[in-house]
């Protein structure tokens, strides 16, 4: 049985070296970010006419038109 941590590192030895268990999950975060951006863009496309109407009404009330 080889107990040399350099030749046979255990999971505990690897994690105590300053790494985190979720290290390397960059593709997951990229996918989450892209999905969120697509969701916001889709909602904006649907709500844009209503938001423009609210904005124009608010500006008209402020300027007195």
Residue 34 confidence (pLDDT) above 90? yes
In a domain, 17, yes or no: no
Residue 4: left (phi > 0), alpha (psi -120 to 50), or beta? Answer: beta
Q: What residue numbers bound the domain in which 36 lies? A: 24-63
Query: How much is the pTM?
Result: 0.50
Residue 43 confidence (pLDDT) above 90? yes
- pLDDT for 25 equals 83
In a domain, 39, yes or no: yes
Cβ–Cβ < 8 Å for 56, 65? no
In a domain, 46, yes or no: yes
- pLDDT for 65 equals 78
Higher pLDDT, 62 or 65: 62
> Domain total for the chain?
1
Q: How far apart are CA 45 and CA 63, in angstroms?
A: 27
**31 closest CA partner among 20, 42, 39, 22:** 39
In a domain, 40, yes or no: yes
> Taking residues 12-28, what's their average pLDDT?
68
In a domain, 10, yes or no: no
């Amino acid at each position: 049985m080889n107990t040399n941590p350099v030749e046979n590192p255990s999971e505990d030895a690897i994690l105590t070296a300053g790494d985190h268990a979720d290290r390397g999950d960059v593709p997951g975060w990229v996918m989450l970010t892209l999905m969120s951006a697509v969701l916001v863009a889709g909602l904006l496309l649907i709500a844009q006419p209503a938001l423009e109407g609210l904005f124009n009404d608010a500006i008209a009330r402020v300027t007195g038109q």
